[in-house]
Amino acid sequence: MLNRWAMVLTVAIGSVSLLTAMAHAASQLQIRKQPFGTTASNEGIDLFTLTNAKGMEADIMTYGGIIVSLKVPDRIGKVQEVTLGYDSLDGYLKNNSPYFGAIIGRYGNRIAQGRFSLSGREYRLATNNGESHLHGGNRGFDKVVWKAEEVRSQNAVGIKLAYVSKDGEEGYPGMLSVTVTYTLNNNSELRIDYSATTDKETVVNLTNHAYFNLAGSGDILKHEAMINADRFTPVNAAVIPTGEIRSVSGTPMDFTKPMAIGARINQKDEQLILGKGYDHNWVLNRKDNKLSLAARVVEAASGRVLEVLTTEPGIQFYTGNFLDGTIKGKGGRVYQQRAGFCLETQHFPDSPNKPNFPSTVLKPGEKYVTTTVYKFSTQSK
């Protein structure tokens, strides 16, 4: 009898301490909200700070749903900024931000000539990149104010952003209701869940345009990247996919094994010349559309590792080719070419004009749902 009580007591104490430990970890997941300024039309912008038990911090604002800052520990626990951007809202409003940290929509990357047809009708979009439509047009989702709601679960904290894009906005058909939920957990995963519904047939391709530099300064040429893709979509002179799906094998686009980003970037390769470096869509290797590893980048000096997981079929790997030292960003840092890289999970550029690419059409009654995770860790020397 005594033994039985002793056992019950041990189990009870065990469960209490387990619960306490869980509560402790959860209590280190926090959300803070603060005003971050006002737009030209006097709309108040909020900044949400998500923190976890590992010392990671993500700052996200309601203007453009922009990741303003991501601070991540290195292998000895030193926490540093790993994204490019500005210190204040004004930086984003006054400068022509190259989409630092922003939500991109309705359509990530380019649509040729800003035109496409759906069910026999041609639509004309804003052309904001030469003759092409880029990243949603003149006022894409990176420049609108999102409504925010805090979300908390047992293992994560976050914010759910919502925006309703009017029928005809930037030339797109249909009223599109979009939500983007950012959450942070104690595995140092910043998860982004995108959803959208429409009242008319339309196209949609949402992503995030964060620029990373895992060293916290300098360029990204020594970072080692792996992209889980045997194929990519070559581009023409307007950086629009030609429609071909080409093997990476034997080319500087082959990142199937980890390779320094800078190792081949200046080779006289037609695709690298057209992109001014890497600015291409890789066709991810996948068996199904479950969340799976798309890319892994390691910065050996700090030991920081970034893994990108996604449900999307493609990823745009862009090496900050258009940064040219004219932007003074966080802490007065001047961003030279290759100061950061982007891994934009997506459907392929110009899919509305490429019948052989996976479809980006969304119909009334359907729900667009995609997920991308940016997971941080460290590796030893």
Site of interaction with ligand GLA (CB under 6 A): 98-99, 109, 134, 239, 279, 316, 318, 322, 342, 344
Residue 26 or 240 having the CB closest to ligand GLA: 240
Q: Which residue has the closest beta carbon to ligand GLA?
A: 318
Active-site residue among 133, 135, 209, 223?
209
Distance CA 33, CA 367 (A): 30
Residue 191 or 209 having the CB closest to ligand GLA: 209
Q: Six-digit token pair at 319? A: 């090496």
In the sheet that holds 189-198, the strands lie side by side as: 147-152, 156-165, 176-185, 189-198, 368-378, 304-310, 292-299, 224-227, 259-260
Q: How, if at all, do strands 314-318 and 30-38 pair?
A: unpaired
Active-site residue among 170, 189, 344, 347?
344
Residue 68 or 210 having the CB closest to ligand GLA: 210
CB of 280 to ligand GLA, least distance (A): 8
Residue 54 or 209 having the CB closest to ligand GLA: 209
Residue 24's CB: how many other CB atoms inside 10 A?
10
| Contact criterion met (CB below 8 Å) for 208 and 67 | yes
Helix ranges (DSSP H) in the chain: 2-27, 89-94, 270-275
CB of 132 to ligand GLA, least distance (A): 9
Residue 121's CB: how many other CB atoms inside 10 A?
9
CB of 324 to ligand GLA, least distance (A): 11
CB of 343 to ligand GLA, least distance (A): 10
SS3 210: coil
Letter string b/e over residues 255-291, b meaning 16 or more CB atoms within 10 A of that residue's CB: beeeeebbebbeeeeebbeebebbbbbbbbebeeeee
Catalytic annotation on 344?
Answer: yes
CB of 188 to ligand GLA, least distance (A): 25
Query: Does the CA dihedral 105-355-347-132 come out positive or negative?
Result: negative
Q: Is the peptide bond before 115 cis (omega within 30 degrees of 0)?
A: no
CB of 318 to ligand GLA, least distance (A): 4
Residue 85 or 98 having the CB closest to ligand GLA: 98
Query: Does the CA dihedral 16-18-19-23 come out positive or negative?
Result: positive
Catalytic annotation on 135?
Answer: no
CB of 358 to ligand GLA, least distance (A): 18
Residue 73 or 340 having the CB closest to ligand GLA: 340
SS3 273: helix
Backbone angles phi, psi at 221, to 5 degrees: -65, -30
| Contact criterion met (CB below 8 Å) for 213 and 304 | no
Residue 243, judged by CB atoms within 10 A of its CB (0-12, 13-18, 19+), counts as middle
| Contact criterion met (CB below 8 Å) for 306 and 170 | no
Residue 15 or 326 having the CB closest to ligand GLA: 326
Task: Give the residue numbers marked as catalytic.
Answer: 209, 344
